[in-house]
Structure 1
């Protein structure tokens, strides 16, 4: 108990040091930087801003309340990680659930590890730490891998070394991003698993993907059932050899033409065999999007 008290007191002492303008630490070479960087410091929640590079895009409210209840009883057991931006201003690198839950119960401070990093390093740290430690859904993980490859400019092989995952594992996640957006959303919402998604990737036609996806959800099909359906699909000689593009129903074809004229944009329509479907209305930029939105609302 004495050790814990001493550690907390040390954290408060470092907090005071960071709030002293004469000791503003901006780089690892500054005076007292060695005392702060890598240490656990009690930071004001109000001095921390959310990381725009955070790969997690949704937070389960019930899960947050459960975490908040645990923090109320036991405190924040695992410190968050932040990077220093300016004087007494920090940005989250990892630990947004703990940050949100702490704010939820009205805490004023939170234990944190402080790092000094540029935006690119912060992005890499946030993505890598979240991939390794957070319960992200498969699409969030895939998007994190994609962002690391594109924005940090690493190869799949280099990424494999950084995150400690096999290159084939990373490739399998990235392939999920080729699925129809509706199926990706279904995976994020837990209607299907990554196993279902990996099976559906082998179906080239987006309309057929949606058709099989609907069967999976409606009939609660297992991954093995899905793989069997896909095998039958691939074995179909009519589809195995360069399948012809499916024609859409006449009502959708007429509506597609009308909508394309109305929006002055090439509208795409997809319809499954059950009659369900989706509309895709492309836009060039923010102004074009607002123009289309006004047309939908009937505004002039």
Structure 2
């Protein structure tokens, strides 16, 4: 399992009010940039307006957590993007911040993800995309993500499954027309059936329990058995390929087909893998 470089998590990077050893700097707002891997993409305008009013009256109480950017004198937000946005709207030119040295790009995403989870700021789809980003971009397994965010592997897996829903269902969830519970009840259904039930939810204000009744017990059992069979097959195939190629293999099933990624650590390793494929 990938070792968590964060140690005790976000609390170890955000200064406590009574700390006397942490140096808090005043940083120009113009020199601060949002974290491109910030999992939170949508900021509630009403909540942001309230925070702006509070900062206008009281200033920024909790310092931002920043990391050095690519350009000299530039900083990337690790924690506190809402405060940064609100401070700008309040007319502040500088904000209090703690600058941390992060040795891995992955830490920026981990910290941003943990901060939002602890504050319960992320929507279900934002959370799912953040998990998937850690897995796709930073070579994490579901177990690694679960370890970082302090959740069970099954909770992480169930959240990621939301991304496999039909586009119309995803849009309805993003727009708040249905709840996460509604969306979960539709996971695994074929697109036609899922969209059909989606319209019934919206038109008739159905509860999650109502939706679960619409999705028959037999359908739910078929979905579960199918996923279990597919997971067993994929895991077995993955183990067989890793033994054959002597490297890490990543199999990503999709709605139509999928992808197989073969990892290599150096040019020599790549040459070895190619020779293995050729049977040399």
Whether contact under 8 Å (1:127, 1:148) holds in the other structure is no
Matching residue within 12, 26, 31 for 1:42:
26
Aligned residue pairs: how many? 202
Q: Tell me what 2:156 maps to.
A: 170
Could you give the per-residue CA deviations for residues 84-103 of structure 1, whole angstroms, max 9, x where no partner exists?
12432211112111111111
Q: Tell me what 1:10 maps to.
A: none
**d(CA) in 1 for partners of 2:105 and 2:98?**
17
Q: Tell me what 1:188 maps to.
A: 174
Q: Tell me what 1:77 maps to.
A: 61
Shift of 1:70: 1.4
TM-score by length of 2: 0.66
Partner SS, residue 51 of structure 1: coil
Q: Tell me what 1:68 maps to.
A: 52
Which consecutive unaligned segments of at least 5 residues does structure 1 have?
Answer: 1-36, 238-300
Structure-2 change in CA distance of 1:49 and 1:181 (3 Å): same
1:229 is aligned to 2:214: yes
Matches within 5 A, 1:70-149: 70-85=54-69, 86-117=71-102, 118-149=104-135
Whether contact under 8 Å (2:40, 2:121) holds in the other structure is no
Larger of the two Rg values belongs to structure: 1
Shift of 1:133: 2.5
Partner SS, residue 43 of structure 2: coil
Whether contact under 8 Å (2:110, 2:148) holds in the other structure is no
Partner SS, residue 52 of structure 1: coil
Which consecutive unaligned segments of at least 5 residues does structure 2 have?
Answer: 1-20, 223-280
Q: Tell me what 1:210 maps to.
A: 195
**d(CA) in 1 for partners of 2:119 and 2:100?**
18
Structure-2 change in CA distance of 1:84 and 1:125 (3 Å): same
Moved beyond 6 Å, runs of 4+ = none
Shift of 1:198: 0.9
Shift of 1:60: 2.0
